[in-house]
Amino acid sequence: MQSASRAVCMHARALRLNNHPFARMVSSSMSKPDLIIVDGLSIHTTLGASHWPRPGVEQKIQPLVLSITVPLSLAQSGTVDNLDESVSYGSICKVAEACASQKGKFSSVELLSTGLAEACFSAFKSIHQVQSVIEKRRALLHAKGAGVKSVRHREGTEQQTYFVRELELSTIIGLHPWERMEKQLVRINLEWTLAPTTTLPPTGFDFRNLVARVSDCTIASSYQTVESLAADIAQVALQAGQHIDEVTVRVGKPSALMMADTAAVQITRNLSDFGLSAPALSHALGFTPPEGQHVAILALGSNIGDRFVNIERGLRALEKECVKVVDTSYLYETKAMYHEDQASFINGVCAISTSLSPTELIALLKQVEAEVGRTPTFRNGPRVVDLDILFYDDISVNITEGEFPLQIPHPRIQEREFVLRPLSDIIPAYTHPSQQKSVHALLSSLASTDPMHRVMPLIPTAHSNASAETQHPYWTWGSKTYLMATLNTTPDSFSDGGVNLHTPDTPLTSPALQYVRSSLSQGADILDIGGYSTRPGAAPVSPEAEIARVVPVVRAIREDGIQVPISIDTFRADVARAALSAGANWINDVRAGRGDYAGSTFSQSESMFDVVHEFGCPIVLMHSRELASEDTVYASGTLDGVRDELGARVTAALGSGIRRWNIIADPGYGFSKSVSGNVELVRNLKRLVDPAETNRALSNLPILAGTSRKSYLGSILACSTGGREEEPVSAKEREWATAAAVTACIQAGAEVVRVHNVEAMRDVVAFQPGQPMNFNGLAGNQVLEWANLDSEIKTAGLKNDPLAPPDLLVNGNIRINWRYAWSWKSKNTPLAFFVERASIRLAYTHETYMNPQNLWNFVAKTYFK
């Protein structure tokens, strides 16, 4: 009873005091909150690394110093002289000790500061804000301490500031001559904040990485003023790749003044002060991840089984988890780098968006490696699939302990061409956070090594029938120009409508299969089968009718045991699915994923991009507009217009998950282009995908040129022969023009040419510079060096050769009538040559004629009598 009465009396007294005018005045005039402070509380914990990290060794207990400040009104408690209206600092201390001593609960000082605040909120309902300073006294070798200052509110908001205290280093610094002769001690204090969108790994901010960079910078410097040194340190910190938003640097010289402890300067800087911007990985990719997502770059590799299938299976496994593939590089075949006595690798990189932290992501990658079939071998040994994190946002991570040690950026990026070259495909301008050089610059600085070959799989690598046990055929870009034979199963195609229809009841005499066999014997590398005529004015057909035309041909080819790659010329997803399921290899889409034409009455249940991604097959994306014969005006010129519009379709394909290594660009000759526009594209084809001119989507894409027998060629021929433009030369009479256009496209970099007359165009392709030869003993991989041959022929004294007809020699150069030379054909001769309009190019094909003079004599006597 006495205690209850006493409490009532004290409460009444408090009410009277609170109503006193002086009390109200004091309360209303207070500008700063009352604080409860626990300062310098020592805790022993295994939190984080010590100043002597030892990978694989259990973490040692180390000292941690906590300071906790709680804003809380103490007016009532001070008035009644009782803790009932306050919070005991002893209780705060006990809560803090209990929270910090939970072994394994917190993996970073950031998480501990958050946990400490939440423990206080849980224990004390009157607390709405907790301020803490957590310092690790033995975390860094040359600094007194490092840690984080936090302010956390009950509603969940939190501000954190990081610091390094009294980093002591020796360097040359000073204006006076005696200061330039010997290093002196400098004492550095750092304090910084991170960008608001920063997400740290579970181990928290990497103090050691930042201090290492600052130390290297300071020790190597020799400034005259501490002002310059402070500015240099600030810039190094901001560019350390650790998302530092603003940094305060204090640099002191303890030996500067005899009667003072130290002389110092202090500056605060951000990136804009140095005219810099953050090295944003997402900006380099041109991709903004959704809220809560992060961007990472992964390395991909395989050298066991079908390497393409293994890599694709690895990506599919990732896509089933919290990962979206947003871009990929091209794929490259490379020799093993460290242990050379093993099969060649297929290497590439991909960009992903994920909600996983770096440690969660590396754990997922190892899980996927095990699922796909990776078995542990030796370091840098054979791999079914090898997945690594190269970059993650713009952060640096160094985890030396645990099941999966992790270092980000990957520590050997700068020495590996098989990493840098595919990286340059997607982020050439990205600045490596620690190397401070762009990916392109790092690649350019590497010494020449074994060549890397860009490659493309020829099978749908994600199809259920794709075996990972054995190697399937693939193409090596740059090794030759591939010849695509055109098989139209339509009755109304502009060039050969109704000629090669399939007769399934009589497969041996089926015109379609006869064309296939003939084309293959003449040197075709791939067949392009189409069942929908894109000729202006052609009647539309239903997807069912198109499937009925195309799929039986595919099946018949496969049933006949012919394993040549098959391309399906269609813009319909249903047709693509049916053909791929029947045995086709890739899709040639004249509408670049846009589906049926506007106004079509035929509906599709899915998109082309979804089907291509599902099967993991190559796709040709051709530029076109709605009407092939109309809409031919481009405001900034045909080249720029095609570049922009086709680039947008490639970007859409990449965004749908289609791999960059599976995309081929087609400028769309004859589709929505004027005659002059087509000529502009022929002349400037190389510029379409030139990285120096084009957008990133088109950069270095392989090109398919489908210029065979196109109407613009007929219009040119009609004008050049005195005819009227409205009466162009017919399709089958455009072979010479096709040969010239194909030649121009190949010399401009076309990797694939789509043709109708395979036999004739084979000869055109075979004698282009850079093509492999195999005539009468000439090695199949030997490449003709036209420049050297021209030089030798010109210096062979041909002007004085009595066997050389005068009309063949013009200004010392060899000239010949195009049509006469084209009519020459002899497979048994040891000499092979191809004639261009301006000159004859000669190839040595037999050692008997290795002497230029003898070679010319043979040509002149045999063919030019």
Name which of 698, 832, 712 is nearest 763 in CA terms.
Answer: 832
> Does 409 sit behind a cis peptide bond, omega within 30 degrees of 0 on the bond before it?
yes
| φ, ψ dihedrals at 471, nearest 5° | -75, 135
Sign of CA dihedral 87, 90, 96, 101: negative
Distance CA 626, CA 645 (A): 13
> Any idea what DSSP says for residue 732?
G
Distance CA 736, CA 708 (A): 10
Asked if 113 and 148 count as a contact pair (C-beta separation under 8 A), the reply is: yes
For 792-827, letters b (16+ CB in 10 Å) and e give: bbeebebeeeeebeeebeeeeebebeeeeebeeeee
| φ, ψ dihedrals at 400, nearest 5° | -100, -10
| φ, ψ dihedrals at 586, nearest 5° | -150, 175
Structure tokens at 370: 């095990």
Distance CA 281, CA 417 (A): 20
Report the catalytic residues: 710, 754
Classify residue 210 as exposed, middle or buried by CB count within 10 Å of its CB (0-12, 13-18, 19+).
Answer: buried
- HEC profile for 135-194? EECCCCCCEEEEEEEEEEECCCCEEEEEEEEEEEEEECCCCCHHHHCCCEEEEEEEEEEE
Task: Establish how many alpha carbons lie within 13 A of residue 516's alpha carbon, considering only the half-sphere containing its beta carbon.
Answer: 28
Q: How far is CA 280 from the centre of its chain?
A: 14
Distance CA 694, CA 667 (A): 13
**Nearest 10 degrees: CA dihedral of 191, 193, 199, 205?**
0
Structure tokens at 274: 């140095």
DSSP 516-528: HHHHHHTT-SEEE
Measured from the Cβ of residue 578, the count of other Cβ atoms closer than 10 Å reads 22
DSSP, collapsed to helix, strand or coil, labels residue 715 as helix
Distance CA 629, CA 469 (A): 48
Distance CA 480, CA 169 (A): 59
| φ, ψ dihedrals at 755, nearest 5° | -135, 165
| One-letter amino acid of 807 | D
> Any idea what DSSP says for residue 438?
B
Distance CA 684, CA 705 (A): 12
Classify residue 344 as exposed, middle or buried by CB count within 10 Å of its CB (0-12, 13-18, 19+).
Answer: middle
For the chain, give the number of residues: 865
Structure tokens at 245: 């938003």
**Nearest 10 degrees: CA dihedral of 688, 690, 695, 696?**
130
Residues 6+ apart with CB under 8 A from 506: none
Name which of 554, 566, 459 is nearest 513 in CA terms.
Answer: 554
Number of H helices, E strands in the chain: 25, 31
3-state helix, strand, coil in the chain (%, to 5): 35, 20, 45
